[in-house]
Amino acid sequence: MPDFKTSPGTRDILSPDSARWRVFQEVFATTVEAAGYLYIIPPMFEDLDVFLRLGEATEVVTKEMYDFHDKGGRHIALRPEQTASVCRAFVEHRPITPWKVWYSGPNFRYEKPQQGRYRQFDQVGIEALGVDDAFLDAEVISLAAKFYSALGLRQVELSINSLGDSGDRDKYAKQLAEYFAKHDSKLTAESKATLSRNPLRVLDSKREPDQEIIAEAPAIRDSISSQSREHFEAVLRALDALKISYKINDRLVRGLDYYRRTTFEFVSTALEAAHTAIGGGGRYDGLVEALGGPPTSGIGFALGLDRTLLACDAEKVFVAPSKDVDVFVVDTVDGSHAHELCDQIRALGFSADRAYDLRSIKAQMKSADRSGARIALIIGSNEVENQTVMLRPMGSGEQYVVSRPDLLNEIKKVLNKNQD
């Protein structure tokens, strides 16, 4: 028989980790919906040209996309991120602005699997389109900060920068290209290859030989226009008003070419790995227009579940929720009593489980122990004859008889008392 396993860079998310993921998404939804963001579900694949707008010099486009021709001859790609899909949806549906949406789901990139980085990876994020306002930039950043706080994370730092407008960025890229060309002999082979495609990406290198050169590179703040500088200063004032701490990082450019003006990144200082970024984003004014829409401002952020949960593990916060059931029903007669009682208990809003295959009472009680149930209900032939149930609060060493008509009220009484 074939030995089927998950493909490299993918994995199964099983309980209790899957429950943790679900609560993670629920906390995120609660955080951003409080600010008026509505849920969007973009398709997992798009026309390849949608993602080419991310920047044909980026590694996401040149090396990492899963793209193929479908049976209709269309050249499509699995989404490597979701901002481009949201902008395509904006162009297609022309919603009223400001359009504030949030998303959650898997993306796909063919890259080397490592801790916290997979070829199929989930992200949550928000996008706000149609408003060019520094207060919106601050709102987006503050929502990410609030979410990290809601998870219990405390060792998170915010870095922020401005890339200026498209003209500023192009001018800065030319300055960088000239600077790095003078130090070409000292750059690593990887950075030399990156330089020919996108000089700004060299700034992302964490390799030690490159770091020495990068440290002396010109800063983009010397290249941005007065209008971009005023916008950035307004964003910083808005963050100050919300008491959000930040560090200005002149070397922060982010990984995709569509970023303009405000760009930011959150880093976990609790992580020891080389990759400590747990989320980030920025403005992408011009992306909607590149996708065939009208000139439209946009800003957003995305954060990966895997990397964020690694940060939670490092700080020992946001543990997996309990998967214990409230009630476990042990039926040694014919199984029908457990079948009916579980349905009635679930209708009360409590969780209930049972054993199957008419196993012995000893085997069923072992299952009750493994389930973590707070109450075990035991039904044998005597209980059926007398219209009663044996109720055992688990871990108490006690048990007592309850009449069937009084059973549901007794269950509510015991479980609610335990919650108090």
Torsion of CA 285, 287, 291, 292, to 10 degrees: 10
**Architecture of the domain spanning 327-419:** 3-Layer(aba) Sandwich (3.40)
Predicted local distance difference test score (pLDDT) of residue 352: 94
Predicted local distance difference test score (pLDDT) of residue 188: 73
pLDDT-derived band at 56, boundaries 50, 70, 90: low
Highest-pLDDT range among 3-7, 187-191, 273-277: 3-7
Predicted local distance difference test score (pLDDT) of residue 213: 72
Q: Tokens representing 193?
A: 């290859």
Domain ranges of the chain: 17-165+224-315, 327-419
Higher-pLDDT residue of 417, 102: 102
Mean pLDDT of 219-236: 85
- Cα–Cα distance between 160 and 146 in angstroms, integer? 17
Mean pLDDT of 40-47: 95
120, β-bridge pairs: 108
pLDDT-derived band at 214, boundaries 50, 70, 90: confident
Please tell me the pTM assigned to this model: 0.85
| Vertex 112 angle, CA 110 and 113, to 5° | 100
Highest-pLDDT range among 111-120, 162-171, 348-357: 348-357
Instruction: Give the burial class of 411: count Cβ atoms within 10 A of its Cβ; 0-12 exposed, 13-18 middle, 19 or more buried.
Output: buried
Q: Percent of the chain, pLDDT > 70?
A: 90
Predicted local distance difference test score (pLDDT) of residue 277: 87
Mean pLDDT of 54-70: 76
DSSP character string of 10-74: -----TTHHHHHHHHHHHHHHHHHTTT-EE----SEEEHHHHHTT-TTSHIIIII--EEE-TTS-
Whether residue 233 has pLDDT greater than 70 = yes
Task: Give the range among 13-22, 170-179, 310-319 with minimum mean pLDDT.
Answer: 170-179
Whether residue 376 has pLDDT greater than 90 = yes
Task: Give the range among 209-213, 217-221, 229-233 with minimum mean pLDDT.
Answer: 209-213
Task: Give the range among 243-252, 254-263, 390-399 with minimum mean pLDDT.
Answer: 254-263
Highest-pLDDT range among 2-6, 16-20, 57-61, 188-192: 16-20
Predicted local distance difference test score (pLDDT) of residue 323: 78
Whether residue 62 has pLDDT greater than 70 = no
Question: Among 218, 207, 212, which Cα is nearest to 179's?
Answer: 218
pLDDT tens, position by position, 344-370: 999 999 999 999 988 889 999 999 999
Per-residue CA distances from 357 to 179, 216, 330, 337 (Å): 75, 72, 12, 13
Is 17-165+224-315 CATH 3.30.930.10? yes
Whether residue 248 has pLDDT greater than 60 = yes
Instruction: Give the burial class of 95: count Cβ atoms within 10 A of its Cβ; 0-12 exposed, 13-18 middle, 19 or more buried.
Output: middle
| Vertex 386 angle, CA 382 and 388, to 5° | 90
